[in-house]
Structure 1
Amino acid sequence: METLRHVVVLIHLVGFATLFGAWLVAAVGDRKITRLQHWGLAIAGVAGLALAAPWGITWELNYVKIGVKLVVLLVIGALLGIGAARQRKAGSVPAPVFWGIGVLTLLNAALAVLWR
């Protein structure tokens, strides 16, 4: 069971890397919202929810941390949606929306690593 949990953690990290990497490439380039960012968010979100389930562990889960990370994930999703809609309508993403996606993605990773 522990091996399966580690596989889910790996999938979660791949989702984060996909979201943040696609955002970073866009930040250096044309500052657009891409479908790859949406996929990264979905992968990280589904794997994160799977990790939040108390299966095969002997320690107590930190539900406050899980809740905060979920709220940050939802805000990232909202910003991706807003940015994609504005991009379709006006051709560009507002700077605060674009930079907010990157900062909140990095914040979510920091919460995972630093909050014990």
Structure 2
Amino acid sequence: METLRHIVLFIHLIGFATLFGSWAVQAFGGKKQITGLMTVGLTIAGVAGLALAAPWGLPTGASINYAKIGTKLVILLIIGALLGIGSARQKRGDSVPPVLFWGVGVLTAVNAGIAAIW
């Protein structure tokens, strides 16, 4: 069971890497727009993160930090909202506001930091 949990963690990290990597490509070499790959990465990271939040396959004596999971979930929902708002603006022909675009990257990095440090 622990092996399955590690596989889900690996998938979760792939989702984060996809979201942050596609954002970084746009931030440092692209047009600073929201891409479909960002949404795919967010979805992968979110689904795998929810699977990791379930109390299965934990080592003996380990407990789940529900405050950390809740914080990361709120940040994930905010990132999803920013991606949705940015995508809607792009479809109307408007540009994505810089605060919205940079917010996606900063919040994604904060979410990774919470996972690693907390």
Residue 88 of structure 2 corresponds to residue 104 of structure 1: no
The match for 1:19 is 19
The match for 2:49 is 48
Residue 82 of structure 2 corresponds to residue 75 of structure 1: no
1:2-56 deviations in Å (ceiling 9; x for gaps): 1000000000000000000000001121001000000000000000000000002
Q: CA deviation at 1:91?
A: 3.3
Q: What is the alpha-carbon distance in structure 1 between the residues aligned to residue 98 and residue 57 of structure 2?
A: 43
The match for 2:36 is 35
1:77-110 deviations in Å (ceiling 9; x for gaps): 0000001111111331110000000000000000
After TM superposition, which residue ranges in structure 1, 4 or more long, deviate above 3 angstroms? none
Letter in 1 for 2:95: S
Q: What is the DSSP-based 3-state SS (H/G/I as helix, E as strand, rest coil) of the residue aligned with 1:92?
A: coil
Root-mean-square deviation over aligned CA pairs = 0.7
* Identical residues among aligned pairs (%): 66
- Please report the TM-score for the alignment, with normalisation by the length of structure 1: 0.97
Letter in 1 for 2:19: L
